[in-house]
Amino acid sequence: MLKRICTTDKVLVTKGFAAACSDVLRGLALLGLVLLGGSASLVAQRFNFTTYGTSQGLPQSQVYCIHQDRAGYLWVGTLSGLARFNGREWRVFDQSDGLVRNHITAIAEDEQGVLWFGSSGGGVVRFDGAGFSSYGDHPVVGQGVITALLAQGSGRVWVGGRQGLALISGEEVVSFASDNLLPSRHVTALFPVGDDRILVATSAGTVLVDRLSRTGSPFASDLGEVAPVRVILADPVDSDTYFVGGDHGLMVYRRHPDNHSLTPLLEEPVPITHGAVDQRGTLWFATRGHGLLQLTRTDWGKGLPGRWITRANGLSHDVLHALGADREGNLWIGTDFGLNKLSPSPFLVYREQHGLPDDFVRALYEDRDGVVWVGTRDGVAAVKQGRLTRPLPEDKLHDRAVYSIGQQNDGTMVLGTRGWLVTFDAASGRLNQQSVSDNLQAVRAIHRDPDGRLWLGGDGIGFLKDGVPEVWTRFPVLQESLVMDIASDDRGRLWMATRNRGLFIYDARADHLKNHVSPFTTALWSLSPDERGGMWVGSNGQGAFYHNGTGFKAYDQSNGLSDAYVWFVFSDAAGAVWFGHNRGVDRLYRDTWRHYTTADGLAENEMSVSAVLEDRDGNLWMGSGLGLTSYHPGQEPAHLAEPRLHLEEVAYFHEGGWFPLAEGDRPEPGNSHLRFRFIGISFRNTGLLRYRFRLVGFDADWTPETQITTARYSGLPPGDYQFEVQVRRGEGDWSDSAVFGLSIPPFFYQTLWFKTGTVLLALLLMGFIHRARMVRVKNHNKLLEEIVAQRTREVAAKNQQLQQLALLDPLTKLHNRRFFDELMPLEEQKLQRQVFADKSGDSLHRFGFMLIDIDHFCRFNQLHGRDLGDEVLKQFAEFLHQIVRSSDVVVRWQNDAFFIFFKDLHQGLLANLAERLLEMVREHPFTDRGVSCTCSIGYSYYPVMAGEELLGWQEMVTLTEQALRMAKQGGRNRAQGIGLNPELPPDHIRQWIREDLHTALDAGALTLLME
């Protein structure tokens, strides 16, 4: 008879553990067993999950298969296509790229690095990096519903589907779907056994298939209890032990020579859909509807049920389809609603849903029994071995916001709140509340000194005497101080950090109080002594300070801190110093910094004042505004694998577009604008990745390290170059370089052979002229020279005429739009290089775009005739040409519209120019008749963003045209400018520009520069 020891709402736990039940429950806290229905005192901690869905780049949210290839890319199959992830962005492949069907069900990779993808109804496709190829009309690999793929040996791929089993070996496809080989044609899973045999799970049983003999033998006679089988995983230690999961449960199968046994692991038939083994040998099982089961070797060896992880712990859905472990130790989980990444983390998180009274944690204290007391703004919780309880009758508290916690010598707990000091005897349940509203106001700090006296910090300082709070009046200046934290050093001196009067140090032996006002200019929040006898101080904006007995040393962003607002500072038993601030937590150990954020598993990046402690087991507890975080140093992940560096694209700019450049290719002469896109593939701590690059033959040295993954070069002279890029994580070592060699060819007149030929031709011509002069008369030479000169002038005149016709407006003699379209790509490239090189952000490096439209010009032509209208246009063009600078460009844009391109324009001048131009046009008489005109103006600045996110000039022209449209809609005879919101990504802004302007303005993507 199977016995249930603990259950969730639906989920079983295991078999045969009744005798050890009480011991298991005492040890499950650190194992992290999640119990939802048994005991309210157990904590369902949140794990370090990251979720990816359609908003992050997936083509669809149901993920059916996961694979990391040998290059480091993560591949994910969904109902709506295939997606590849490089750690920063997703690339989607679908039928338009060569897939036969978009529903991808299986992924495998062979020894040559070729990827194989199974689909629903489209068979198998092969991807060699350049494109996809399929297998036509073959019933299994060409058109079937593929359920499993397995790459085995050299160039062999097994294919299982609803139509049977096949083997792709080179160009040959061999069918294994005979009736006497498989129990059923419906293959559910494939698992390797050596080089020539595989386990084939079908809807009617599991067989061991030999490739060479093309025979099959039953794997286990009684796997029907869980069939159809979906998962078979070998035990990481015992190769004769297998974990077998299927639609009706999970079992352990032992194939020892003298004993075959099959033992159910789960009490109820939970459907197992997938399994995986991570770097540490931990087994993971995905279920349909019950979340994720983790089974470590320790769990299995001790007979423990492992750990269930569900939506309560951070999964996006409890219906799981696929699992995959990557080379950095992350576990990827394909669910019915998104892809989840579970990153190994030493952090556990406790929040309201786990039993805290409130997410805002203000105070922490470990009592003499090892219980961690947690003060929140709405009550108190206690944590003991992972169990979370509520020890106080909170409905009886006069104030539930707990600022500080301590313990008297007799074990009575002391809590500081606003206006009250609370004492609580856990043994008797006696609760006593004493008002401090007339003196301390709020007890923000409680500290027990080496002599056992309990000090109270608030609006002044006091202490507890015979259970009664008393104000310490020895030094009146202290009663004018807002005390935030109290600590004792190894000499017995009392340190007091205040919000308004700096730092106080009281030496009881000398009865002397010293006040350190300098170097502090802000509030002081936290104190922590270290093992060297020094004292750490956290401040509100000045970073942290360390007092070594002689003076203070400052720590801020200039020497390692990530943020200057240090809410807590703490020196642990190992000698590491922790700094909690607004951007997470920094750890300083032996001059090495480590930065932690929510991406590493913290509950929140903004920490709470002095809410930190180290328990007797060496675990660190930290409070924040969004929950409690515990840090377990023994769970710190091992050294991360280095990111895989790839040059994903090399392209050159030609005729208004970017074209890919392969290794060995040569762009045409004159195409000297290059773009390199690269990425260090990593799925852990990607914010720490830094890059540096150089173009050998152009750059003198490496660029400063950056997070930018695109490098651009413009105006490169002809020659041979080599692009090199490196990546590192944090302060680690730089990787080997990813290298791309290329040559920019010269124009024919720049080549050595042309120059040599020109010299030789000149010498021959000189000889010819010399001989000609000997045989020809002087007059013939003059005539010849006149003819040559005349023809040269004619050719030059024709060329000049053609150029004017092509680039000038015939009526106004201004440049036309073709000239502008040829000019802007070159100007844009110059500006990109200039912005990239200039880190100062000087607003001089800007272009101004202004579009001017003569108001009601069509009506003018109807009233006065086309001839007079043309005369007005010519004079208007002359007028504009006279008022702009020589460096500016005036273009006839449309019939009655003109465009001005301003260079090197300071931000803010364009609005003034527009207003002056409106006034000058109104006051200027046109033609001999003194015709007056008005105009409408739209303008914008370019660029509004720097670096790789620079918006294109065409998009800014579109924005300028929209600004003109607003000026017209606003009544004409006015100017209107539009700018962009620099805090939004360029892709979002481009989308707004293409859509409705007013919606973009309302959404904050666009801003009006002048009404």
* pLDDT value at 621 more than 50: yes
Structural domain contains residue 79: no
On whether residue 689 sits in a domain, the answer given is yes
Residue 283 inside a domain? The answer is: no
What is the residue range of 843's domain? 813-1010
**Residue whose token pair is 């299995």:** 300
HSE, CB side, 13 Å, CA atoms: give it for residue 915: 7
Phi and psi based region of residue 708 (left: phi greater than 0; alpha: psi -120 to 50; beta: remaining): beta
Query: 77-104 pLDDT, tens per residue?
Result: 999 999 999 999 999 999 999 999 999 9
Q: How far does the chain reach from its first CA to its final CA, in angstroms?
A: 82
Q: Does residue 716 share a domain with residue 621?
A: no
Q: What is the CATH number of the domain that holds 371?
A: 2.130.10.10
Tokens encoding 326 = 């990557």
**So what's the pLDDT on residue 20?**
30
pLDDT of residue 7: 26
Cα–Cα distance measured from residue 162 to residue 185, given in angstroms and rounded to the nearest whole number? 6
Pairing between strand 607-614 and 627-631?
Answer: unpaired
Number of domains in the chain: 5
Give whichever of 10-14, 429-433, 668-672, 801-805 has the largest mean pLDDT.
429-433
For residue 449, give both structure tokens. Answer: 């000194």
pLDDT value of residue 974? 93
Residue type, 509: R
Whose tokens are 């951007």? That residue is 583
Model pLDDT for residues 35-81, shown as the tens digit of each residue:
333 333 444 566 789 999 999 999 999 999 999 999 999 999 999 99
Whole-number Å distance between alpha carbons of 360 and 377: 6
pLDDT above 90: percentage of residues in the chain: 51
Is the confidence at residue 684, as pLDDT, over 70? Answer: yes
Q: What's the Cα-to-Cα distance from 111 to each of 208, 278, 681, 716, rounded to whole Å?
A: 23, 21, 21, 41
Q: If we measure between CA atoms, which residue out of 935, 934, 933, 953 comes closest to residue 993?
A: 953
- Higher confidence at residue 10 or residue 832? 832
Question: Is 564 buried (19+), middle (13-18) or exposed (0-12) by CB count in 10 A?
Answer: buried
739 with 756, same domain: the answer is no
pLDDT per residue over 143-169, tens digit each?
889 999 999 877 799 999 998 999 998
Q: Would you state the structure tokens that stand for residue 493, as one six-digit string? A: 């001196």
Work out the average pLDDT over 802-812: 78
Put the strands of the sheet holding 307-309 in their side by side order. 272-277, 283-287, 292-295, 307-309
What is the band of 302 on the pLDDT scale with cuts at 50, 70, 90?
Answer: low
The pLDDT value given to residue 1: 21
What is the pLDDT at residue 25?
28
Sheet holding 552-555, edge to edge: 524-529, 535-539, 544-547, 552-555
Which residue type sits at 875?
A: Q
Higher pLDDT, 180 or 502: 502
- Residues above pLDDT 70, as percent of the chain: 89
Distance separating alpha carbons of residues 329 and 23, to the nearest angstrom: 30
For residue 9, what pLDDT is reported?
Answer: 32
| pLDDT tens string 360-409 | 999 999 999 999 999 999 999 999 877 889 998 878 899 999 999 999 99
Q: In which band, very low, low, confident or very high, does the pLDDT at 1000 lie, cut at 50, 70 and 90?
A: confident
Could you please report the per-residue DSSP string of 212-253? Answer: TTTEEEES-TTGGGTPSEEEEEE-SS-TTEEEEEETTEEEEE
Q: 477 and 598 share a domain? A: yes
Non-local CB neighbours of 127 within 8 Å, separated by 6+ positions = 114, 115, 116, 117
Question: Alpha-carbon distance 159 to 138, whole Å?
Answer: 12
- Give the pLDDT of residue 188: 93
Closest CA to 415 of 399, 429, 427: 399
Confidence category of residue 218, pLDDT binned at 50, 70, 90: confident
Residue 224 has pLDDT above 80, yes or no: no
Q: At 378, list the tokens.
A: 């709405």
Give the whole-angstrom CA distance, residue 854 versus residue 860: 10
Q: How much is the pLDDT for 19?
A: 29
Residue appearing with tokens 């922590």: 528
Residues 603 and 628 in one domain: yes
Residues 250 and 301: their CA atoms lie apart, in Å, by 17
Q: Residue 514: how many CB atoms within 10 A of its CB?
A: 11
Question: Of 635, 666, 694, which closes a domain?
Answer: 635
Whether residue 418 is found in the same domain as residue 513: yes
Confidence (pLDDT) at 636: 81
* 754 and 896 assigned to the same domain: no
| 3-state SS assignment for residue 611 | strand
Q: State whether 369 and 517 are in the same domain.
A: yes
Q: What is the pLDDT of residue 785?
A: 80
Residue 572 phi/psi, 5° resolution? -90, 180
Residue 538 belongs to some domain of the structure: yes
pLDDT at res. 45:
66
| CATH number for 937 | 3.30.70.270
Using DSSP bridges, classify how beta strands 935-942 and 272-277 pair: parallel, antiparallel or unpaired. Answer: unpaired
Strand 975-980 relative to strand 935-942, pairing: parallel
Question: Taking a C-beta distance cutoff of 8 angstroms, is the pair 770, 762 a contact?
Answer: no
Q: What is the overall mean pLDDT for the chain?
A: 86
Contacts of 791 (CB under 8 A, 6+ apart): none
Give the single-character DSSP code of 17: -
Burial class (CB in 10 A: 0-12, 13-18, 19+), 1: exposed
Q: Which of 70-79, 251-260, 646-655, 944-953 is predicted most confidently?
A: 70-79
In a domain, 515, yes or no: yes
Separation CA 661–CA 675 (nearest Å): 10
Q: At 143, list the tokens.
A: 């058109």
Residues ≥6 apart with Cβ < 8 Å to 478? 460, 461, 472, 496, 504, 513
- Residues 802 and 844 placed together within one structural domain of the fold: no
| DSSP symbols for 164-179 | EEEEEETTEEEE---T
Assess if residue 5 is contained within a domain. Answer: no
Cα 62 to chain center, whole Å? Answer: 21
Q: Tokens 């309201």 map to which residue?
A: 352
For 560-579, what is the mean pLDDT?
97
- Determine the residue type at 797: A
CA distance 509 to 492: 9
- At residue 836, the pLDDT reads 64
What pLDDT, in 10s, does the model give residues 631-642? 999 888 777 788
944 and 853, same domain (yes or no): yes
823 and 705 inside one domain: no
Same domain, 626 and 661: no
Question: Cα angle at 825 between 824 and 829, to 5 degrees?
Answer: 115
Is the residue at 335 inside a domain?
no
Return the pLDDT at 215.
86
Q: Give a three-class secondary structure readout of 652-704.
A: EEECCEEEECCCCCCCCCCCCCEEEEEEEECCCCHHHEEEEEEEECCCCCCCC
Compute how many other C-beta atoms are within 10 angstroms of the C-beta atom of residue 920. 13
pLDDT in tens, 464-496: 998 899 999 999 999 999 999 999 999 999 999
Phi (first) and psi of residue 101, to 5 degrees: -135, 155
Across the range 901-916, mean pLDDT stands at 84
d(C-alpha 570, C-alpha 573), whole Å: 10
Give the per-residue pLDDT at 599.
82
Q: What count of other Cβ atoms lies within 10 Å of the Cβ of residue 335?
A: 24
Tell me if 938 sits within 8 A of 965, measured CB to CB: yes
CB 569 within 8 A of CB 537: yes
Q: What is the mean pLDDT of residues 711-737?
A: 92
- The verdict on 765 and 726 lying in the same domain is no
Select the more confidently predicted residue: 129 or 1010.
129
How much is the average pLDDT of 797-817?
A: 79
Output the pLDDT for position 225: 65
What b-and-e string marks burial along 861-876, b requiring 16 or more CB atoms within 10 Å of the CB? beeeeeebbebbbbbb
Residue 31 inside a domain? The answer is: no
Amino acid sitting at position 931:
V
Taking residues 9-24, report their average pLDDT.
31
List C-alpha distances in Å: 83 to 159, 414, 463, 645: 21, 56, 64, 19
Give the CATH number, domain containing residue 714.
2.60.40.10
Q: What is the pLDDT of residues 321-343, one digit of tens each?
A: 999 999 998 999 999 999 999 98
Residue 626 and residue 603: Cα distance in Å, rounded?
6
Q: What is the pLDDT of residues 531-547, one digit of tens each?
A: 999 999 999 999 999 99
Averaged pLDDT, 966-995: 80
* SS3 at position 954: helix
Nearest by Cα to 821 from 681, 657, 612: 657
The answer, yes or no, to whether residue 16 has pLDDT greater than 50, is no
DSSP 704: P
Count Cβ atoms below 10 Å from residue 884 Cβ, excluding itself: 16
User: pTM for this one?
Assistant: 0.64
Q: Which amino acid belongs to residue 571?
A: S
Tell me the one-letter amino acid at 774: M
**CA distances for 829 relative to 316, 673, 982, angstroms:** 44, 8, 21
Report which of 11, 19, 17 is spatially closest to residue 36, judged by C-alpha positions: 11
Residue 770 per-residue DSSP state: H
Dihedral angle, C-alpha 360, 364, 367, 369, nearest 10 °: 60
- Of the residues 190, 219, 248, the one at which a domain ends: 219
Which of these ranges, 428-437, 611-620, 998-1007, has the smallest mean pLDDT?
998-1007
For residue 726, what are its two tokens?
């490196």
State which of 581, 612, 635 marks the end of a domain: 635
Mind giving me the DSSP string for 788-814?
HHHHHHHHHHHHHHHHHHHHB-TTT--
**H or E segment at 571?**
strand 568-571
Contact 379, 361 (CB under 8 A): no
Average pLDDT in the 603-632 region?
96
Token look-up 């033998």 returns: 217
Please compute, for residue 788, the number of CA atoms within 13 A of its CA located in the half-sphere on the CB side: 6
Lookup: tokens for 25? 């429950």
Q: What share of the chain is helix, strand, coil (3-state, %, to 5)?
A: 20, 40, 40
